[in-house]
Chains A and B, each alone.
Chain A
């Protein structure tokens, strides 16, 4: 069976490469492969990644601005994030990611709003610094409870050579509020990934250095920070619950539902807990070097991963925390066992293909496997080599690996491998649903969630059952097209 699958997977790669012109085929061939848990083929070790996208294809990738504003900075709720440049970027990234937060929007929190300098031709010709300066003072007048402002550069800013750092510095001095300029122009790098890095650098330089924000902070031995959880559908809240039940004190949550102060006190943590490695390993490494805070990756998708991660975290603290953690695990295991008992029979053996962003192409594999489902293909929109190496540990059968896959390749792979479920993003959703294939959006949990932790696994299982076993898929073929029985 698995040999058969591997043969199909290799054929699928061969077939898509045949369509490209020679130069593009040569480039794409390096991003595609098959890996298996035995590691014989080793696509995860060799797949080329984080390289320029082939021009002229429908790549699913975003840009550096999307990585900085859309992912890292945007969810910091008590700051105002200016999309600096023309109107589009701010508008398209408005409210599209479900980074949940609490607060009075427009008054002391600003998460779902779009602040833009809305460039006109004049700004391009004469520079946008004057407009930006004025925008900053208007913001302070109209939104006095903002706890800081970030300036997120769109493409033209770097090209016309505006000195936004100087404008930010001046405003910071005058207003005594954090004012942080991030040069995350969309053309930089090859995907949103560089935007994460640039955003991390800005946090390192502008937030981590703000010692006054944490001067009166009183530490306890059990202080931890959640790093790289964007609170999609409330994930970080579900995570926080478990950590608190273990006896830990979560002092910061980055950056879903984060505040500036939480960012600034994170250097007081005893341990940084890193969920999205891709987007925030940079700042975790920095805090390790600069403040000697160890960091640890964890995975809260599905009970197997959650339990293993909880134990790993508990082991770091030892003693009482270990005992508490075992009690927490025991408390929830009964419930998650019941969830599995309820749904596994309906989902077992179903084949899934994934195509997502930062960590989920590997992290969610275990959650599917807890329900008896099998992953037959996975890949990253903007992963790096270390992401693929980490993926290998999670593979349990022959798996098609595709880096920076475009719409054409995904469609061909799905047609060839015939998965029972495709889990990817909104741009892919309707393509596969039209083919009659169940689909779940795994960037936004298809407007459900949370999916992190034990309570969330129940939602995950319920959602996968909803996806796979809805009667709507049986209507795809019209009755007059169905073969008559016995005909």
Chain B
């Protein structure tokens, strides 16, 4: 029973004797395996750690277990929220939107606006046009957006709804109500690619549909666009803007959701910050566009390169060399010198890397996450002398990514010990960790279960992270972001060292106050 002076919740309550008795009583009814046959459970558990299991596991073709990826419209919602006063609108069932909002809200601990037009059985039969007609009007009347960015779900895609015709029809049907609202739309079928594909499709759609045709382009030699990509780190967006500002005031982020998911206490407003629609509408005029995530902007790049005939560059400013390349690219494009401030930041980062390297040198890491995130992070690990033993990318693009990753790995003295695993999930990683263990894991919240199973410490960097607070507020890009990465990884290693040396009288001769 609870002690009123010391009320405990389930964490400790269920350890009390009477609840342990409840668990025991329940087992009688549970099953013919598992709980009533611990020996069998132990036997199978041991088998799942073996090379035999690994081979069977790695050869599976049809079932995905514990993946580290999400579906297209989720990325489209993030892309849409990077523009000012923009309401993401999902053409499909509201169930999907509830999931997207919940997923982002749990990561950012912020509200996530997004509407759907609540398609149901009748839409499956008759198509979703009626939903879109009502939906766009209602959305416009209630949330007064400047832009509504429409994406699709797998349902709308399977029934073959024609967005182009639907949007035009709905606008016409609204009798002028939608005339002052931009409505952009992208097809984002959930059965193609992943959330980064959806991000790409939505950015491409917004740029194509807001900008005038190429013939009306008015080239602005000083202007540079930066597309950040599917970026879960709000601090990274802020830092990229700071770096860009040091090269002039005509470098614009296209898709800037920093403020949307970082509003303060005091009052609530649906929209916050974002790329202005004016900036979005003139993107075609820029001299060049720099994408910070090559694989999150594959389709967008085609529009910019082929249709707009604009210079298109990709940089990945995670880690030292990635940031160097980004900074030099901006210097080249803007014709301006690298600022003293940036030079100092670089020097400080290198200084810090030299201070901490002994702890990362030769340590083995398993790293998983989105394709571009991995390119940056693995690059940083290699720069520090760490070994990226397992690099696992569930949503790795089929073309190019593996070669790009291999080129980074080849810079390592331990290149032959590094393995790249495209298209694999976290249940595959479990087998890899048991058979070829590493010292640390780097990735999102879903590595938590691998930590429990394999006892490999997890350093939480990636998306989503639900079980730690405020990490998304930091940067992982630029020199200052590099310092954050260094701090998190090094201190995780030191925490682990303390953990392993804390046994009084046994290991604590190495429990040093000076590291």
Contacts and interface: CB of A to CB of B under 8 A. Distances in A.
Nearest to B122: A52
A436 B1 CA distance: 35
Nearest to A91: B70
Contacts, number: 351
A257 to B, nearest CB: 8
Interface string B83-111: 00000010011111111111101100111
Contacts of B410: none
A100 B10 contact: yes
Interface in B136-193: 136-143, 153-155, 158-159, 177, 189-192
A82 B63 contact: yes
B74 to A, nearest CB: 7
Contacts of B95: 61-66, 186, 192
A138 interface: yes
B355 interface: no
Interface stretch (A1-9, A31-39, A232-240, A275-283): A232-240
Contacts of A64: 95
B468 to A, nearest CB: 13
A237 B14 contact: yes
Nearest to B14: A234
Size band of the interface chain A makes with B: 35 or more
A120 B66 contact: no
Contacts of A428: 111
A115 interface: yes
A262 B29 contact: yes
A308 interface: no
A468 interface: no
Interface in A125-179: 131-135, 138-139, 141-142, 144-145, 147, 154-156, 158-160
B35 A108 contact: yes
A139 B266 contact: no
Contact of A113 (B34, B65, B140, B265): B65
Contacts of A332: 1
Interface majority SS (helix, strand, loop, mixed), chain B: helix
Nearest to B2: A458
A436 B25 CA distance: 45
Given A65-B95, A241-B18, A87 B70 contact: yes
B246 interface: no
12 contacts: A24-B141, A52-B120, A87-B64, A92-B74, A108-B35, A121-B192, A142-B53, A187-B119, A241-B19, A251-B29, A265-B29, A434-B267
Given A19-B141, A188-B121, A237-B23, 11 more contacts: A52-B120, A56-B140, A57-B142, A92-B100, A233-B9, A241-B22, A426-B102, A426-B105, A434-B264, A458-B4, A477-B266
Interface of B: 1-2, 4, 7-10, 13-14, 18-19, 22-23, 25-26, 29-35, 40-41, 44-45, 48, 53, 56-57, 60-67, 69-74, 89, 92-103, 105-106, 109-121, 123-124, 131-132, 134-143, 153-155, 158-159, 177, 189-192, 194, 263-268, 427, 430, 446, 449, 452-453
Interface of A: 19-21, 23-24, 52-66, 78, 82, 85-94, 96, 100, 102-109, 112-121, 123-124, 131-135, 138-139, 141-142, 144-145, 147, 154-156, 158-160, 186-190, 192, 233-234, 237-238, 240-241, 244, 250-253, 257, 259-262, 265, 331-332, 335, 338-339, 342, 407-408, 411, 426-436, 448-450, 454-455, 458-459, 461-462, 475-477
